[in-house]
A and B are shown apart, each in its own frame.
Chain A
Amino acid sequence: MIDQLKRMSLRQRVSISIWLVSVILGLILLAFVLR
């Protein structure tokens, strides 16, 4: 995993970070809705 990250371009890493942030926000939103 770490090795794969080292082989990624900056744009790919930024895209992954944005996806990751979006997924976390989505999960927190889901938890709020389903509480």
Chain B
Amino acid sequence: MQDRRETAIVSLASTMNRNQVAHQRAKMDQNHETEICLVARIGSQKHMKTLLLIICYIAAVTLPLILSWLVGGPPRAFHQELASGLGILAFAMILMEFVLSGRFKNVSNDIGMDVTMRFHQIMARIALGFAILHPFLYRGTPSGGPRPWDSTRQLVITTDFFDLSTGIAAYLLLPSLVLLAIGRTKLDYKYETWRLMHGVGALLIAALLLHHTVYAGRYGSQPVMTGVWLAMTTIAIGSLCYVYLLVPLRDKTRAWRVTSVMQVTQKQWEVTVAPDGHSGLDYKAGQFVWLNVGHSTFSLKENPFSISSAPAAGPEISFMIKEFGDFTRTIGQIKPGTIAYLDGPYGSLSVEDRTEPGVALIAGGVGLAPLLGILRQMRLTNDPRKVKLVCGNRSVDQIAYREELGPQDVTLVVAEQPEIWDGETGFIDGPLLDRTFSQEEFAEWVFVLCGPPIMMDIVENHLLKRDTPSHRILSERFSYD
């Protein structure tokens, strides 16, 4: 940034007198400070939103516990209260999992879908731990139904089988749901089969726990608490209905048509869709959508794909898709004219509002897709910011859009060196980044990363070592573990 300013000042000096130069220098210094302030403000706004979301999460999860405290009866022995507390927290956390499912733009578009999903996964495991402990801590508590002299159920727990059966069913279902989610990639399920099982399982658990909490719970049976649990469960199930019923209903009126399917490398395809009777999608370069091709808008057969086209190119949207799973292996069979539905845009991988003097795009494999969208947008709009792209692939024949990328400011890296090759060989690592970027660029540019987790970890750690502030590193991961 400093270099750019100095060059501009030198060129201005040849045409102006001393006072004009001094005035211009002061003005540019002021602009430079404004740029720094803007970057800081964007970073701090993002941090504030993250903090606000964390506070909202804690408030929502602890609301039933705090209300139980206020409206519940006199406290019991430590282990009994701990058992109730863990059960209440676990249920509230399970209900919040519905909202953390990643399909709410207000939650995931600023902090990132990968961060939202990681939080969803970890919180589910913590809730499972709490739920597993919950019944064991009641050991030693007298049972046998309510005693007439114990109206606040301070001394006994219920043994009514109907009241307990829903808790037992949820107790068995919850670990299955979490374990199936953890082992999803290892178990050979179709993606949509897994989504259906996960959604229906979660719905069932929420309903079972609501019954168990209200009928077997000492606190949940209080009228106020019954109302609170009913409201929270309605919101959770409502969020599922919103994603799987209302959003598809809305998308039904905004259909798209496949205009072309083109093979870009041996295992990578470019699918382009055009709006069918509407104005298209309002998105930022680098974002992604859930794409449904050839199925009903209510179908679960939809997958998230990064948009590789630029918003400035027009309403048509292109995706760069690698053959990987059951849907992507059939991409080549899609016929032009096929109906498609898009849900989005999602994702925080955008440089549109950034004020850094340069943009570094670092991609691994199909991670090029969103970064290609950013590069295309910058080139189409004659973005004054400098841009450099580092793109890694296993072999030369896997490099997509090689001609379009061109040689200028593009560093191609291949792991397997061919006979004739003028690019880099090996992996995207620290030494390669040091050869590509200057210390000033490390400190002042925004770095956008997308690729395999190992590449992302290596690059991010190196950038931090080179004093790139974390708010200037934007990333999106394919996998969340």
CB of B206 within 8 Å of the partner chain: no
Cβ–Cβ < 8 Å partners of A29 in chain B: 65, 82, 85-86, 89
Inter-chain contact A7/B54, CB cutoff 8 Å: no
Taken residue by residue from 61 to 83, chain B's Cβ proximity to chain A (1 for < 8 Å, 0 otherwise) reads as 11001101100000100100110
Tell me if A14 and B118 are in contact (CB < 8 A): yes
Docked-complex contact A10 and B470, CB < 8 angstroms: yes
The 8 A CB mask of A8-31 against B (1 = contact, 0 = none) is 111101100110111011001100
- Contact of A17 with B54 at beta-carbon distance under 8 Å, contacts A9-B464, A33-B81, A33-B82 already known: yes
Contact indicator A14/B469 (Cβ below 8 Å): no
Interface residues on B, range: 20 to 34
Cβ A33 vs Cβ B85 within 8 A: yes
Contact A9 B85 (CB under 8 A): no
Complex: how many Å from CA A11 to CA B477? Answer: 11
**For A22, what are the chain B residues with a Cβ–Cβ distance below 8 Å?**
126
Within 8 A of A (CB), among B41-57: 50, 54, 57
Q: List 29 A-B contacts (CB under 8 A).
A: A5-B470, A7-B470, A8-B464, A8-B470, A9-B460, A10-B460, A10-B475, A11-B457, A13-B470, A14-B115, A17-B54, A18-B118, A18-B119, A21-B58, A21-B123, A22-B126, A25-B58, A25-B61, A29-B82, A32-B65, A32-B68, A32-B81, A32-B85, A33-B75, A33-B82, A34-B78, A35-B69, A35-B75, A35-B81
Chain B residues with Cβ below 8 Å from A21 are: 54, 57-58, 123
Judged by a CB distance under 8 angstroms, whether B132 is at the interface is no
B89 in contact with A25 (CB, 8 Å): yes
Per the bound structure, the CA–CA distance linking A3 and B400 in Å amounts to: 39
Cβ of B329 to closest chain A Cβ, rounded Å:
31
Q: Contact: A24 with B58, CB < 8 Å? A: yes
Please indicate the chain A residues that have their CB under 8 angstroms from the CB of B54 in the complex. Answer: 17, 20-21
Check if B471 is an interface residue, CB within 8 A of chain A: yes
Query: Which residues of the partner chain A approach B82 to less than 8 Å between Cβ atoms?
Result: 29, 33
Contacts of B50 in A (CB 8 A): 17
Q: How far is the CB of B213 from chain A (nearest CB, A)?
A: 15
- Contact present for A9 and B57 (CB under 8 Å): no
Residues of B within 8 A of A14 (CB): 115, 118-119
* New contact pairs (17) apart from A6-B470, A11-B457, CB-CB < 8 Å: A6-B471, A8-B464, A9-B461, A10-B473, A14-B118, A17-B54, A17-B119, A18-B119, A20-B54, A21-B54, A21-B58, A25-B58, A25-B62, A29-B82, A29-B86, A33-B81, A35-B81
Q: How far is the CA of A4 from the CA of B78 in the complex (A)?
A: 39
* A9-B65 contact given A17-B54, A21-B57, A32-B81, CB 8 Å threshold: no
